[in-house]
Amino acid sequence: MQTKIDNNTLMQLVLNNIPSFVFWKDDNSIYLGCNENFAKSAGFSSPEDVVGRSDYDMPWSQEEADFFRKVDKEVMLSGEAQINFEEQQTINDKSTRWLRTSKIPLYDDQKNVIGILGTYEDITARKTMELEIHQQNAELLILNDKLESINMDLEHLVNASSHDLQEPLRTIGSFVGLLEKKYGSEMDDKAKEYLKYIKGGSARMSKLIKQILTFSKIDKVDIVFESVNAKKFISNILRDLTHSINEQNAVVESDILDIYINCQQVRMEMVFHNLIGNALKFNNSQNPKISISLTEDDKSWLFEIKDNGIGISNKFDHNIFEPFKRLNTQATYPGSGIGLSICKRIVDMHGGEIWYESKEGEGSSFFIKLPKLIIMNEQVG
């Protein structure tokens, strides 16, 4: 059996079930009606309690009531709806909500504006989140500014101290030279050996200072990507390292695809020089062997530099990619501990990854993964 309900009740039923807040006012901004959501959100038990009130009789603040009436007036005078604008509504000075409101002029049969229809949704949760994100972003910007200025101070400090440190080293170098030239013939073997140590020490110090400078400047210049032939690239690096390879009696096998990769050639050369140099250096095998390979998938290129050297003990929890982290400090393995941190910075700048797998005494493999999605600036090789 069908229940008969009159149009007004049906209309109120529809309005009460809309998951939104709805109200309508006359041309003096006096409430003519609303749905239950609206009445309840304003602290009334039914829509009838709202009828006949102005915004000044509602629980919002005076300023909000002024604003609501001002917008009503604009809509009624212009005859143009205002859709989805954001406003605030405070209930009894306690909780403030954010609303996304639309106000539409109501016309009679003669096309005269007789009031407005308003709807809104409560967007407080989203707005609070937005405001928090905004606040966090502002704090991050301040932090970023501070970090940038600390970084600039550090860079100046590194620059200044590096130049200041090179100066006394040059003095040591030239006086050692003079000492050798003038008194070399009078020196016994012990004195000559001591002099050799002084020269070796200052050469290492000079190299260390240069590496610190390189490390501090590496990400200061924009990276320019080129399309580089991987096979030629690796064989050029091996040619540069011929002397060290022969000195170590090492065998280097390279299985490099004849393909083009995207990278900044000069910087990537530093990475491979360092990794292959380490593979030769940290190696006490009778037959040092290094294998270099390149594989690819849809998204990336993967290089592996594998050695049969001393390996890296897993008991070291040092991150060897951090500056000055060295696991082997014996004189047989000279170095500064900066090489791998330079490699990591360069690989990071390429949007890539660098990591190693190793077992102490059984050798190490260093991996470099470079993403393929990099805009190319030039073609080289």
- Please report whether residue 198 would count as binding ligand ADP according to CB under 6 A: no
Q: At what angle do helices 265-281 and 339-349 cross, to 10 degrees?
A: 150
State which residue, 210 or 325, has the beta carbon closest to ligand ADP.
325
- Contact indicator for 228, 268 with CB cutoff of 8 Å: yes
Give the per-residue contact string, 307-336, with ligand ADP (x = CB under 6 A; - = no): x-xxxx-------x----xxxx------xx
Does residue number 105 form part of the binding site for ligand ADP (CB under 6 A)? no
- How far apart are alpha carbons 25 and 106 in whole angstroms? 9
User: CB neighbours (10 Å) of residue 221?
Assistant: 10
| Pick 69 or 325: Cβ nearer ligand ADP | 325
- Do residues 268 and 294 make contact, with C-beta atoms less than 8 angstroms apart? no
In this complex, which beta carbon is closest to ligand ADP, that of residue 105 or of residue 311?
311
The residue assigned the tokens 């900044």 is: 264
- Across the strands, what pairs with 116? 25, 105
| CB 121 to ligand ADP: min, Å | 57
Q: Find the shortest distance in angstroms from Cβ 225 to ligand ADP.
A: 25
Gap between the Cα atoms of 60 and 69, Å rounded: 12
Told to check if 279 binds ligand ADP by CB under 6 A, we report: yes
Distance separating alpha carbons of residues 250 and 280, to the nearest angstrom = 8
Distance of CA 90 to the CA centre of its chain: 39
Measure Cα distances from 236 to 228, 230, 233, 248, 272 in Å: 12, 10, 5, 19, 11
CB of 356 to ligand ADP, least distance (A): 7
- Site track 337-366 with ligand ADP (rule: CB under 6 A), x = hit: xxxxx----------------------x--
- State the Rg of the chain over Cα: 38
Q: 143 near 151, Cβ under 8 Å?
A: no
**Residue with the CB atom nearest ligand ADP in the bound state:** 335
Q: How far is Cα 298 from Cα 173, in angstroms, rounded to an integer? A: 53
Nearer to ligand ADP, 37 or 274 (CB): 274
Q: Positive or negative CA dihedral for 117, 121, 124, 130?
A: negative
241 binds ligand ADP (CB under 6 A): no
Q: Please, what is the minimum distance in Å from the beta carbon of residue 158 to ligand ADP?
A: 17
Among 96, 115, 110, 102, residue whose Cα is nearest residue 33: 115
Per-residue mark of binding to ligand ADP, 121-140 (x: CB under 6 A): --------------------
Nearer to ligand ADP, 118 or 339 (CB): 339
72 binds ligand ADP (CB under 6 A): no
Residue 212 CB, shortest distance to ligand ADP, in Å, is: 12
Nearer to ligand ADP, 37 or 278 (CB): 278
**CA max distance for the chain:** 127
Q: Which is nearer to ligand ADP, 105 or 339 (CB)?
A: 339
Residue closer to ligand ADP (CB basis): 20 or 284: 284
| Nearer CB in complex with ligand ADP: 37/364 | 364
Phi and psi (nearest 5°) for 41?
-65, -25
Minimal distance, residue 268 CB to ligand ADP, in Å: 16
Does 370 engage in binding with ligand ADP (CB under 6 A)? no
Distance CA 276, CA 233 (A): 13
Q: Could you say which of 233, 282, 301, 303 contacts ligand ADP (CB under 6 A)?
A: 282
Under the binding rule (CB under 6 A), the answer on residue 218 touching ligand ADP is no
| Residues 50-69 close enough to bind ligand ADP by CB under 6 A | none
Q: Where does residue 92 fall: left (phi above 0), alpha (psi -120 to 50 degrees), or beta otherwise?
A: left
Residues lying near ligand ADP in the complex (CB under 6 A) are found at 274, 278-279, 282, 307, 309-312, 320, 325-328, 335-341, 364
